[in-house]
Amino acid sequence: MSTIALSKTSSYDRTMQLFGGMWFMLLALGVAIKIGSSAHDPWPSLLSSVCLAVFYVLLALLIITRPPAKAQANGRLPRIAAFVGTYMPWTIAFFGETDKALPNLASTACVLIGMIMMLVTIRHLGRSFSLVPQARNVVQTGPYRWIKHPLYLAEEIAVLGVVLRSPTPLTAALLVLHIGVQVCRIYYEEDLLRRNCPEYSGYEASRWRVVPYVW
């Protein structure tokens, strides 16, 4: 790769780190403001909001401080899949909420489970975290001892929780679309790791992708 190409790639990475960090910090600020103005909401809703705000702050810090990658997926499709998969599902929150108790309770449970799983996974993933598929190292601790993509599983559980707050055919379709995008991201990520991290081949052969004994 030429010096000019390397410079462009580095500039792009720094720009994406800055804007990604700012985006999630703004989301955390928005959640914090909502918490302050909704002090009389039921405690499950407040607890879910606190977990979400902490998660956004962690995402922002990890994006800003992540180290340079060994390699990065080429082309536009991996980048498009990464950004659609990261940002699209949270737009469901703007679709309104159901006033029925059971969907709201199920939603709270899914969001809390998803957020806790994300926090645990990111703790082990550390600075290897990225949005666009990148090769840094093969993490094999924590939930990565059992499945290769625990962060995708955690995110999908949280997204299901958001969908349950607005159970309509449109939000169900968005959930199915998001799952499809996440599957594409998994294949892009695995291909990149396979080509750039020799230790990944042995790890890959002994783990399930997302759900044990299913896929």
Give the model confidence (pLDDT) of 1-58 as tens digits: 444 444 445 666 677 778 777 877 887 887 788 777 777 777 766 776 777 677 778 7
Which three-class secondary structure state does DSSP give residue 123?
Answer: helix
Q: pTM for the full model?
A: 0.71
Residue 174's nearest CA partner among 56, 91, 52 is 91
Statement: residue 163 has pLDDT above 70:
yes
Structure confidence at residue 22 (pLDDT): 83
Distances (CA, A) of 131 to 12, 26, 88, 102: 13, 17, 13, 33
For 56-109, the pLDDT digits (tens) are 787 777 777 766 555 555 667 767 777 777 777 767 766 766 767 788 788 888
What are the boundaries of each domain within the chain?
Answer: 72-205
> Lowest-confidence range among 11-25, 97-111, 144-158, 180-194?
11-25
In degrees, rounded to 5, the angle at the alpha carbon of residue 78 between the alpha carbons of residues 26 and 205 is: 110
d(CA 110, CA 149): 18
154 pLDDT more than 80: yes
Model pLDDT, residue 157? 92
Other Cβ atoms within 10 Å of 173 Cβ, number: 10
Residue 184 in this model has a pLDDT that exceeds 80? yes
CA angle centred on 67, ends 20 and 129, rounded to 5°: 60
Which stretches of 88-149 are DSSP H helices? 101-125
pLDDT at 204 over 80: no
